[in-house]
Amino acid sequence: MLFSSIISKLACFAYFPKATPRSLIVSMSEKAKFLSRSLFYLITISIFLLVLSSFSLVQFPSTHFIPRSVFELVLVNSTSFLLKPKAKTELVKFPSFPSTDTNLSMRFGSLSCPNSIVGASGCHRMKTCDRNQGLGKLKVFMYDLPPEFHFGLLGWKGNKNQTWPNVDRHSRIPSYPGGLNLQHSVEYWLTLDLLASNTPEVGNAVRVQNSSEADIVFVPFFSSLSYNRHSKLHGKEKVSVNKMLQTKLVRFLMARDEWKRFGGNDHLIVAHHPNSMLYARKKLGSAMFVLADFGRYPVEIANLGKDIIAPYKHVVRTIPIGESAQFDRRPILMHFQGAIYRKDGGAIRQQLYYLLKDEKDVHFTFGTYRGNGIKKAAQGMASSKFCLNIAGDTPSSNRLFDAIASRCVPVIISDDIELPFEDVLDYSEFCLFVRASDAVRKGYLLDLLRGIDRYHWTKLWERLKEIAPHYEYSYPSQPNDAVAMVWEAVLRKVSSVQFKRHRRNRFARSEALLKRV
């Protein structure tokens, strides 16, 4: 009321200047000075209160009056105020919104810890950050293929019309063969996880019964096992069991409405062994593959744009964190044990062998996993500061994951290698990378590794122990283990598949409607 009264008097004075007596003008002039000062102070106080109230609204979002959509827009487009001035990665905490708004965790998931890794247990630099938080579990439709495509390859025989083994008890689950077969067993662990997904607290993906509700369609073919055990002809066979199964699989998929709907690009096929799916891969190339690397695939069939790189299942024993030897208790500088004479990109192994074989603190020998080979390799890695992962017939090998399980800092010498989950894991934090052309220079590798002191090695080693659980396959699967990481990688790929699909549908639906008119 006071403010409106002042304004009305000033307006009256401005409108009737000639009709005002001189004495009145002098009096009003003095009053005007007083009122102008009062008005200045009033405006200043009002601005201060407005700023203060805005700050309180940000600090106490549960009581604010700013629409949530506007507030979210400000945060998403003006996040710089959340950063400390001179910090590179350290963030001030975001305001804690009410838990009823589940979309916020999804929207801010990628902002809350930019240099962390993906998992399912919240955000912490030393642990993991769930970039998929708020999205829920991946919804998967799995075909009920006959046992000959999956557990039947393990010798399992169920009752009549029984497709899947009972996974409620470990004793009833067919075991996967050990040795080198085990390293490509990815499809086995993913299938078990889906079979158990309807059990509370088990499974990192949810199996749905209606394909129209699914994010991805899973093809449960144990392709690596099929290759390892049934790729050779036996007896009077003219076609191997492996080739026969692939032919039947192609015929099955091509006849399915689920495949026809999107041309198979929402299907997930595991072909982890480099030679698995050799006969069918071209016809099924539109699907999403889970692979070890791209070494034996043409780019039009397999590439990072649509496919997943999954870790090998390590074959050496996992060293518990508390038992892992520190820098001074590892007498071997670098370790390599395996096939030395390889072809193509693996020729570098032979060159390195002749450069390093006579060094006293280097273990570089020929070896296999047969007999006592796995145990010897495990002992050697656990006693070494660095473990060499050198390209062989293909860019990748199981040694990287054996080294991680042994808590031995990996040295990767493979220019064309693709690594699992590299979109969310920074391998330079726990691995060393050496170009092949540098590695074969005399003295280069020795000088590099001998120059790394205890402090810098321990930094790599500590980070290695943190990320090691992401490469462990297990049943029941655990949050953040290899099974969970693969499903999360698939979930991230699904969004790009949907994006392409929606773009293709821009005019398709309209044109279909016009044809009906």
Q: Annotate 43-60 with DSSP letters as a single string.
A: HHHHHHHHHHHHHHHHH-
pLDDT at 434 over 70: yes
Whether the pTM exceeds 0.75: the reply is: no
Distance, CA of 84 to CA of 64 (rounded, Å): 25
The one-letter amino acid at 220: P
How confident is residue 90, by pLDDT bands cut at 50, 70 and 90?
Answer: very low
Query: What's residue 321's pLDDT?
Result: 86
The tally of CA atoms less than 13 A away on the side-chain side of residue 192 is: 23
pLDDT at 127 over 70: no
pLDDT at 53 over 80: no
Higher pLDDT, 181 or 240: 240
User: 250, 143, 157, 152: which is closest to 194 by C-alpha?
Assistant: 143
pLDDT at 381 over 90: yes
pLDDT at 27 over 60: no
Distance, CA of 111 to CA of 121 (rounded, Å): 16
H-state helical runs in 266-311? none
User: 435, 433, 404, 413: which is closest to 349 by C-alpha?
Assistant: 413
Maximum distance among all Cα pairs of the chain, rounded to whole angstroms: 127
Let me know if 415 is exposed, middle or buried by CB neighbors in 10 A (0-12, 13-18, 19+): middle
Query: What's residue 102's pLDDT?
Result: 32
Residues 6 or more apart whose CB falls under 8 angstroms from that of 232 comprise 240
10 neighbors 35 (Cβ within 8 angstroms): yes
For residues 7-19, give the mean pLDDT. Answer: 45
376 φ/ψ angles, rounded to the nearest 5 degrees:
-65, -40
User: Which SS3 state, helix, strand or coil, does residue 306 take?
Assistant: coil
For residues 320-329, give the mean pLDDT. Answer: 94
Distance, CA of 293 to CA of 274 (rounded, Å): 8
453 φ/ψ angles, rounded to the nearest 5 degrees:
-80, 180
Query: What's residue 510's pLDDT?
Result: 74
The two structure tokens encoding residue 191: 């299938």
How confident is residue 15, by pLDDT bands cut at 50, 70 and 90?
Answer: very low
Neighbouring CB atoms inside 10 A of 39's CB total 15
Query: What's residue 505's pLDDT?
Result: 77
How confident is residue 393, by pLDDT bands cut at 50, 70 and 90?
Answer: confident
pLDDT at 299 over 70: yes
How confident is residue 487, by pLDDT bands cut at 50, 70 and 90?
Answer: very high
The two structure tokens encoding residue 14: 């401005």
For residues 454-475, give the mean pLDDT. Answer: 97
For residues 478-500, give the mean pLDDT. Answer: 89
pLDDT at 126 over 70: no
Q: Sort residue 381 into left (φ over 0), alpha (ψ -120 to 50) or beta.
A: alpha
For residues 416-444, give the mean pLDDT. Answer: 97
Query: What's residue 327's pLDDT?
Result: 97
Query: What's residue 136's pLDDT?
Result: 67
Distance, CA of 200 to CA of 224 (rounded, Å): 30
Query: What's residue 207's pLDDT?
Result: 94
Residue pLDDT, tens place only, 436-460: 999 999 999 999 999 999 999 999 9
The one-letter amino acid at 318: T
How confident is residue 3, by pLDDT bands cut at 50, 70 and 90?
Answer: very low
Neighbouring CB atoms inside 10 A of 467's CB total 21
Query: What's residue 54's pLDDT?
Result: 56
How confident is residue 201, by pLDDT bands cut at 50, 70 and 90?
Answer: low
Query: What's residue 507's pLDDT?
Result: 80
Residue pLDDT, tens place only, 146-199: 999 999 999 999 898 899 999 988 888 999 998 888 999 999 999 999 999 876
Residues 6 or more apart whose CB falls under 8 angstroms from that of 351 comprise 440
Higher pLDDT, 329 or 346: 329
Residues 6 or more apart whose CB falls under 8 angstroms from that of 131 comprise 109, 110, 118, 424, 488, 492
Which of 25-29, 73-77, 370-374, 492-496 is most confident? 492-496
User: 273, 288, 441: which is closest to 352 by C-alpha?
Assistant: 441
pLDDT at 87 over 60: no
pLDDT at 309 over 70: yes
Higher pLDDT, 347 or 99: 347
Sheet strands (E) in 10-130:
none
What whole-number percentage of the chain has pLDDT above 70? 73
How confident is residue 339, by pLDDT bands cut at 50, 70 and 90?
Answer: confident
Query: What's residue 81's pLDDT?
Result: 33
The one-letter amino acid at 476: P
Lowest mean pLDDT among 29-43, 381-395, 429-443: 29-43
For residues 307-312, give the mean pLDDT. Answer: 98
For residues 247-263, give the mean pLDDT. Answer: 97
Distance, CA of 340 to CA of 431 (rounded, Å): 22
pLDDT at 212 over 80: yes
Query: What's residue 508's pLDDT?
Result: 74
User: 431, 314, 333: which is closest to 378 by C-alpha?
Assistant: 314
Long-range CB contacts (< 8 A, 24+ apart) of 255-260?
A: 256/143, 258/141, 258/211, 258/217, 259/217
Long-range CB contacts (< 8 A, 24+ apart) of 207-213?
A: 207/140, 207/141, 207/142, 208/139, 208/140, 208/141, 209/141, 210/141, 211/141, 211/258, 213/139, 213/141
How confident is residue 252, by pLDDT bands cut at 50, 70 and 90?
Answer: very high
Q: How far is CA 338 from CA 272, 484, 509, in A?
A: 20, 30, 57
